Amino acid sequence: MRSTLSMRDRLTHWLPRLVLSPSLVAVFIGVYLFIAWTGWISLSSSKMVPKYDFVGLEQYIRLWATPRWETAVVNLFLFTVLFLAITIAIGLLIAILLDQRVRAEGFLRAVYLYPMALSFIVTGTAWKWILNPDLGVEKVVNDLGWSGFVFDWITRPDTAIYCVVIAAVWQSTGFAMAIFLAGLRGIDTSIIKAAQIEGAGLPRIYMSIIVPMLRPAFLSVIVLLSYISIKSFDLVLALTNAGPGNATEMPSTFMFSATFRRNQMGVGAASAMMMLMTVAAIIVPYLYSELRESRNEH
Amino acid sequence: MKLTTLLAASIAFIPAVAMAEEKGKVEGIHHWVSESEVNALKVITDKLATKGYIWQDSAVGGLSGANALQALRTRLAAGNPPTTMQFLGYEGLDWAKEGVLRSLNDLYVKNGWDKALAPQLLAFVKSDDDYISLPINMHRQNWVWANKAVFDKAGLAEPKSWDELIAAGPKLKEAGVIPLAIGDEPWQILEVFEAILVDVNGPDFYEKAVIDLDEGALSSEQMVDAFDKLRQVRGLVDDGFTGRDWAVATGMVASGKAAMQVMGDWAKGEFLAKGMKPGVDFLCFPTPTATPNYKFVIDAFGVFKSDDPVVVAGQDAWAESIMDPEVQTNFNKIKGSIPARSDVPVDDFDDCAKRSFADREAAVAGGAMLGGLTEGFAAQPQFSGVYSDVVAKFFVTDMSSKDAVQSLVDGINNAR
Amino acid sequence: MSTLEIDRVRKSYGIHEVLKEVSISIGTGDFLVLLGPSGCGKSTLLNMIAGLDSITGGEIRIAGKVVNDLSPKDRDIAMVFQSYALYPTMTVRQNIEFGMKIRGITPPERDKAVRTAADLLQMSHLLDRKPSQLSGGQRQRVAMGRAIVRQPKLFLFDEPLSNLDAKLRVDMRTEIKRLHARLGTTIVYVTHDQIEAMTLATRVAVMKDGVVQQLDEPQVVYDRPANVYVAKFVGSPSMNIIPGVLEVQGTVVSAVVDIAKRGSARISGVAVSPETARKYAGKRVLVGIRPENFSIAAGDIRPTLTVDVDVVEPTGPDTLVVFHCSGAEVTARLPPKQASAGREAALCVDTSKVVIFDADTENRID
Amino acid sequence: MNTEANSARRSHLLGRLFIYGSLLALAAFYLMPLWVMIVTSLKSLDEIYAGSFVGLPKAITFEAWEKAWGQACIGTACDGLRPYFINSLLMVIPAVILSTGIGAINGYILTKWRFPGSNFFFGMLLFGCFLPFQAVILPMAQLLGSLRLSGTIPGLVLVHTVYGISFTTLFFRNYFITIPDELTRAAQIDGAGFFRIFFSVMLPAALPIIVVSCIWQFTQIWNDFLFGVSFTAGQSSPITVALNNIVNVTMGRKQYNVDMAAAMIAAIPTLVVYIVAGRYFVRGLTAGAVKG
């Protein structure tokens, strides 16, 4: 029976796969083959240029014996938790406030959204000044008369990471806001009316009814923000250059300096693999749920 | 003049110009992007142009050359190296070991350049038996730059030891002046620390602890002392040092807001640009010590192996331009350093440079020529990186000197 | 000539079998309704006729030609979808013209076809609008217009009315009926609404779990359902199914049912053949009675059964009376104001319309 | 009754006050860096070195802007940002078009022409979104070298397209999944083939997500520094690399006003895109970029 298929029909049958195949090849090479290459290098003794020998897990042992890497891991954890929590909180707050039929919503939305358009190569210097106690906020407030005001986080190793969080929150809230706002607009307003008739106040309605309904938006925001935080590279370089005293080192900056500045390509590759595994630990379950969902749709 | 001769002359002239245009390009990666650096570089490239080659600029700034190194690495991985590349410290030697650099022995011998360089410098120019790079200059790293008016007002003279320098702190603070201007970048802090290390403990100790990475020296009491001194120096610094560029710190000294800065002689350009004169408006003196030493930093260019005769000829022209005595003189007047060649006359340099020349001669004779750790002239980057990690962390936290020494030892051993 | 023959067609996704050897055959001009609940396989079957789903086994023939391996566009069919599937970025005119454009029909001809279809469906004034500017009923018309201009051998409708509100649904139903009458094209129509099936079809195929339960004219399906499933699915309120026992006394066959607190009642004269009657004599059966086959016993006619009325639901023209019989809830459609809740009612049954089912297989016995 | 109405009005007023107060305070926070950049770029260098960083300029001058655009030196080349701006345009336009186009057709296949394994492929593709790019620079450089594309703008276009596909496919796939399959089926019955359905039916319906994809890709590619600094040299560098060279002067006197003007110039295209099309971005996100 199959033989009755005409050439054209057979082409139609294979066409989608054919059209998709260049992407498949590109992604296979650009992502998976290159990851495999990095994995290999992480098991080699490569220093300055790639060397294709095998030394087992030596580079990983060296990596975990490096205090800077430990700092980087702790920072990443601290940064991710704070960054996610604050960005989500502020993003949600702005979205809810904007959803109250305010004037000039378009303008305000643009204000909150524009940082996303800029790279930290562009805004890093401005933030450096704002956070610098001698030039920025502290000075301005002191000049206004509150001489006791101190805001010197960026100068102190134990607090500098919070400055990175501030700048990162600044850049990403717009995104969280946009997604939450989209979610809020999709919610049936009769739910709010129903709750009002039951006598619930607006804050309570949002806390116990609306916010839980935004669950899918939360999921999207969390995944995308985790991705931003793991990749935060420009941000740290531009703002603190991993200082003071490597206090704001992150895995991405560590990897960069190990590979390109310190001739420790093997260690750099090992750190890259650690980052990839972390990403996979977050992303794979998300992908799994996403894809299972779509299978159900069919 | 007859018309025909004019015509003949112009006809003869045209191919010459065309030839010059056709000779080729010299492409170089470097990380000189500031105004004075670029002006200095122009001295070389102008000379190159007279030899008929066009300079193609591939500057990559930032991260003390790390971006430039990354660019080189990817270019080499792609099999597309530039004609030439600026190297600091061991970089040139490391690349030479990978077999990508061209040996310049023929040029060195032909032109006698080998005799024109100080022996300590040769260690960075020669890989085994091959000359692999072309040094253009020599910076002295262990300078103190001071505001003369501030010093006079506080009744201070050039300090003879680090204790004296530290003791000047309270006086200066009383006068409302920040004693020492510095930024929190690890390399700025390391400059100070390595100066202390050699000034207090002597060149031999520096060689053991930094160049040989001898564990005994690394964990010794002298090392603890050096950290103790650095802790005292921390007391001379104001709180706004975060993210401060070294040039901003220099500006603070120039304006009298701060009294001193420990920095290489590239800082001199900042004073000169403001119209200040050495000895009159600002002071330059080596970091205080009982054992005089000279910490050098050189900028050198390596050239990459190529089968293309046009490229090779361009490299020859480039090498001759760099090593030209006149170029070395003019370049260094702008850059603030002194010529890499020891055989270039120095009479028309300023007082600071002259002092640098004199000290270099003394140091060469006395075996006190030392490579700067910060810029990669003393240890491989994975080790100097550990130094800068520990020192920077020590400087900005309350870490004890003993803990600092311990993490230094652990870090070096881990990187071995 | 546009017949449709579905010959032992099977469909499975992996081990999951969606259609099991379905055979349906209709003639030119027939209006076939595939009726069944969601998941019964009716839409899959339609998609297979259209060529949108592959056929696992068997053959489908349109106008006598096997179309198993023809692509949709070569099958000479047109289809109307539940969501109308109008191209959102095209105007109504462009929507209707799209298929003709692909087939390379010249602009004047296209224009003529659009005009004819628009007149037929009274939507000439909508031609330059976008689908988003149309109401549900208007979109439905456009979708039909798009199908009509194709002049296909076979029209396929996939639950075309289920997205409309009740009033509009009735109107469009009439519209489709009228269209069928005018064009005379063979139609296959999928729905889960038995009223649509009754009103529209010339042939109804009732489906369940990938199997055709009954294929016949709608009235036959209604009067003589093949099994309890069909009996309950077709008709509203659905046929009452009352457990009982078959009794044979000479030539008279009766069904005996229980009435709570009142003992048994005998429904005599059930239309069952003598052989069947002999076979089932004294056995348990299921007695099927449509609600409208009950009537009030008036005058001196002896009631078939006397019951206690549970609930009374007036619908206007009739009143639905609910009572219990053999443990089953039974609904009778009676004239208004003839019974009231909590009172007793004496009822007659039109025994010629009573249907008997096997208690185990639930199939009709004749 | 009256007092109740009064208090209700007062609490409403307080509520509005709270809403606008918070929104404006937050707006000030978000505008602060932009303010610093603009103000600084309009000051003279002397004024900045005299210690004025955050305040208004005493005298407005556009000198820094002119310098950043046309004269600032990168190495020995003193052409300002202009040539690099053009480089970036030459890179960003084809890369955005290519990655969006490929993403669109991928999304179309993955929703309307599913085949066994298409979901797995989608999962593989998605993981590419989350790849830390530093990890692939060296192998990518080797690949570009063997393709003879190293150091060129086409090479950068290729890299950005490859790593952009993941995101654009995600966008389009999630958007097309909301378009009923019946639409493609109707078109099939109308006789439209694979490409005809894509170009005549799907693509015109995908305008909102095309905008989202273009904005996203435009900002990502325009702002990219890592690939730019790794895969280009000198005259073929994109603007972020040039900006870095101007801003990150390692040794020398910093020209903060020129730095800021240069940063502003580098930011203008993305800012314009956001301001002009930001509305569509939010709308497009609602329409399916993010599954709600």
A20 plus A155 within the same structural domain? no
Smallest CA–CA distance from A5 into chain C, residue: C69
B59 plus B103 within the same structural domain? yes
Is residue D30 one of the residues assigned to a domain?
A: yes
CA-to-CA separations, B200 to B115, B278, B401, C249, in angstroms, rounded: 33, 27, 16, 130
Omega before C237 within 30 of 0, i.e. cis: yes
Give the containing element (helix H, strand E) for C23: strand C16-26
Domains held by chain C: number: 2
Long-range Cβ pairs for the range B63-68 (8 Å, 24+): B63/A237, B63/A241, B63/A261, B63/D248, B64/B31, B64/B187, B64/D250, B65/B31, B65/D250, B66/A256, B66/A257, B66/A260, B66/A261, B67/B31, B67/D229, B67/D244, B67/D248, B68/B29, B68/B30, B68/B31
B127 plus B155 within the same structural domain? no
Contact D202, D176 (CB under 8 A): yes
Per DSSP bridges, beta strands C4-13 and B178-180 are unpaired
Is residue B253 one of the residues assigned to a domain?
A: yes
Residue C242 CA from chain centroid, whole number: 23
Q: Which of residues 81-110 of A touch D (CB under 8 A)?
A: 90, 93-94, 97-98, 100, 102, 106, 108-110
| Residue C243 confidence class, pLDDT cut points 50, 70, 90 | very high
Q: How many beta carbons lie within 10 A of that of residue B364, not counting itself?
A: 16
pLDDT at B65: 64
Query: Who contacts C323 (Cβ-Cβ below 8 Å, separation ≥6)?
Result: C307, C308, C309, C310, C329, C330, C332, C345
Please state, for a pLDDT cut of 90, what percent of chain D lies above it. Answer: 19
Output the domain CATH number for residue A137: 1.10.3720.10
Q: What is the pLDDT of residues D84-102, one digit of tens each?
A: 999 999 999 999 999 999 9
Contact A123, D280 (CB under 8 A): no
A138 plus A209 within the same structural domain? yes
C25 plus C170 within the same structural domain? yes
CA-to-CA separations, D59 to C171, C250, D47, D55, in angstroms, rounded: 76, 121, 9, 12
Contact B378, B212 (CB under 8 A): no
pLDDT at B198: 93
* 3-class DSSP state of D125: helix
D147 plus D272 within the same structural domain? yes
C189 plus C298 within the same structural domain? no
Nearest 5°: phi and psi at C225?
-60, 140
CA atoms within 13 A on the CB side of A147: 0
pLDDT tens-place values along chain A, 298 residues long: 344 455 666 777 788 888 988 999 999 998 899 999 999 999 998 887 788 889 989 999 999 988 889 989 999 999 999 999 999 999 999 998 988 888 888 888 888 888 888 887 777 878 888 888 777 788 778 878 887 788 888 878 888 889 899 999 998 898 889 888 888 887 777 777 777 777 777 778 888 888 888 887 888 788 778 877 877 777 887 788 777 777 888 888 888 888 877 878 899 999 999 988 888 887 788 777 766 655 544 4
A160 plus A14 within the same structural domain? no
B136 plus B158 within the same structural domain? no
Among the partner-chain residues B73, B185, B396, the one whose CB lies closest to the CB of A260 is B73
Task: Identify the domain containing residue D157 by its residue range.
Answer: 82-289
C151 plus C39 within the same structural domain? yes
* 3-class DSSP state of A186: coil
Q: Which positions in chain D touch B34 (Cβ < 8 Å)?
A: 249-253
A1 contacts C69? CB cut-off 8 A: yes
Is residue D117 one of the residues assigned to a domain?
A: yes
A35 plus A70 within the same structural domain? no
Q: What is the pLDDT of residues C184-238, one digit of tens each?
A: 899 999 999 999 999 999 999 999 999 999 999 999 999 999 999 999 999 888 9
B133 plus B155 within the same structural domain? no
Nearest chain A Cα distance for residue C213, angstroms = 27
Is residue B226 one of the residues assigned to a domain?
A: yes
C222 plus C287 within the same structural domain? no
Output the domain CATH number for residue C229: 3.40.50.300
Long-range Cβ pairs for the range C164-168 (8 Å, 24+): C164/C136, C164/C137, C164/C140, C165/C136, C168/C136, C168/C137
Give the containing element (helix H, strand E) for C116: helix C107-120
D44 plus D88 within the same structural domain? no
> Which residue reads 């040989």 in tokens?
B212
Whether B and C touch, i.e. at least 3 CB pairs below 8 A, reads as: no
Q: Which positions in chain C touch D189 (Cβ < 8 Å)?
A: 50-52, 72-73, 77-79, 99
Whether B and D touch, i.e. at least 3 CB pairs below 8 A, reads as: yes
* CA dihedral for D114, D118, D122, D128, sign (positive or negative): negative
B237 plus B330 within the same structural domain? no
C68 in contact with chain A, both atoms CB, cutoff 8 A: yes
Contact C364, C224 (CB under 8 A): yes
Output the domain CATH number for residue D249: 1.10.3720.10
Write out the two tokens for C65.
Answer: 């030609």
| Residue B178 confidence class, pLDDT cut points 50, 70, 90 | very high
A257 contacts B66? CB cut-off 8 A: yes
Cross-strand partners of D139: none
Task: Identify the domain containing residue A11 by its residue range.
Answer: 1-42
Q: How many beta carbons lie within 10 A of that of residue B173, not counting itself?
A: 16
C28 plus C9 within the same structural domain? yes
Domains held by chain B: number: 2
Output the domain CATH number for residue C286: 2.40.50.140
* Triad A16, A20, A21: Cα angle to 5°: 120
Is residue D75 one of the residues assigned to a domain?
A: no
First and final CA of chain C: distance in angstroms? 36
Smallest CA–CA distance from C57 into chain A, residue: A1
Whether B and A touch, i.e. at least 3 CB pairs below 8 A, reads as: yes
Contact C170, C89 (CB under 8 A): no
A199 in contact with chain B, both atoms CB, cutoff 8 A: no
Amino acid in the structure at residue C137: G
Q: Which positions in chain D touch B251 (Cβ < 8 Å)?
A: 49, 253
Write out the two tokens for B349.
Answer: 């340099």
D119 plus D149 within the same structural domain? yes
Q: Would you say residue B3 has pLDDT above 50?
A: no
> Could you give the CA distance from residue C205 to residue A85 in angstroms, rounded to a whole number?
59
Q: Would you say residue C163 has pLDDT above 80?
A: yes
Q: For chain D, what is the mean pLDDT? A: 83
Is residue D276 one of the residues assigned to a domain?
A: yes
DSSP code of C328?
E
DSSP code of C266?
E
Is residue B10 one of the residues assigned to a domain?
A: no
pLDDT at C54: 86
C225 plus C314 within the same structural domain? no
Among the partner-chain residues B38, B45, B74, the one whose CB lies closest to the CB of D231 is B74
Q: What is the pLDDT of residues C127-141, one digit of tens each?
A: 999 998 998 889 988
B284 plus B156 within the same structural domain? yes
C171 plus C247 within the same structural domain? no
C345 plus C280 within the same structural domain? yes
Is residue A284 one of the residues assigned to a domain?
A: yes
* 3-class DSSP state of B196: helix
C207 plus C272 within the same structural domain? no
Instruction: Give which of B56, B44, B33 is closest to B137, Cα–Cα.
Output: B44
> Could you give the CA distance from residue C165 to residue D155 in angstroms, rounded to a whole number?
58
Final residue in a domain of this structure, among C233, C252, C284: C233
Among the partner-chain residues D115, D219, D273, the one whose CB lies closest to the CB of A17 is D115
Is residue B124 one of the residues assigned to a domain?
A: yes
> Could you give the CA distance from residue A83 to residue A244 in angstroms, rounded to a whole number?
20
Read off the pLDDT of each residue in C8-32 and give the average, rounded to a whole number: 91
Exposed, middle or buried: residue B242 (CB in 10 Å: 0-12, 13-18, 19+)?
A: buried
Contact B187, B244 (CB under 8 A): no
Give the containing element (helix H, strand E) for B49: helix B35-50
Write out the two tokens for D32.
Answer: 């602060």
D149 in contact with chain A, both atoms CB, cutoff 8 A: no
Domains held by chain A: number: 2
D132 in contact with chain C, both atoms CB, cutoff 8 A: no
Burial A175-189 (b: 16+ CB within 10 A, else e): bbbbbbbbbbeeeee
Among the partner-chain residues D137, D146, D241, the one whose CB lies closest to the CB of B74 is D137
* 3-class DSSP state of C318: coil
D33 plus D124 within the same structural domain? no
| Residue B6 confidence class, pLDDT cut points 50, 70, 90 | very low
Q: Would you say residue D1 has pLDDT above 70?
A: no
Q: Would you say residue B7 has pLDDT above 70?
A: no
DSSP code of B344?
S
D202 in contact with chain C, both atoms CB, cutoff 8 A: no
Is residue D74 one of the residues assigned to a domain?
A: no
Is residue D73 one of the residues assigned to a domain?
A: no
Task: Identify the domain containing residue B350 by its residue range.
Answer: 27-140+297-354
B305 plus B323 within the same structural domain? yes
D98 plus D230 within the same structural domain? yes
Give the containing element (helix H, strand E) for D182: helix D181-189
CA-to-CA separations, A86 to A90, A92, A93, A159, A216, in angstroms, rounded: 6, 10, 10, 16, 18
Final residue in a domain of this structure, among C217, C233, C249: C233
CA atoms within 13 A on the CB side of B243: 29
Query: Who contacts D134 (Cβ-Cβ below 8 Å, separation ≥6)?
Result: A233, A252, A255, A256, A259, A272, D226
Among the partner-chain residues B41, B56, B60, the one whose CB lies closest to the CB of D245 is B60
A63 plus A100 within the same structural domain? yes
D116 in contact with chain C, both atoms CB, cutoff 8 A: no
D132 plus D247 within the same structural domain? yes
Q: Which positions in chain A touch D102 (Cβ < 8 Å)?
A: 22-23
Domains held by chain D: number: 2
pLDDT at D285: 65
Smallest CA–CA distance from A131 into chain B, residue: B242
Task: Identify the domain containing residue C17 by its residue range.
Answer: 4-233
Nearest chain D Cα distance for residue A120, angstroms = 9
D141 contacts B67? CB cut-off 8 A: no
Is residue B41 one of the residues assigned to a domain?
A: yes
A12 contacts C69? CB cut-off 8 A: no
A194 plus A169 within the same structural domain? yes
Write out the two tokens for B209.
Answer: 């602890």
pLDDT at C1: 64
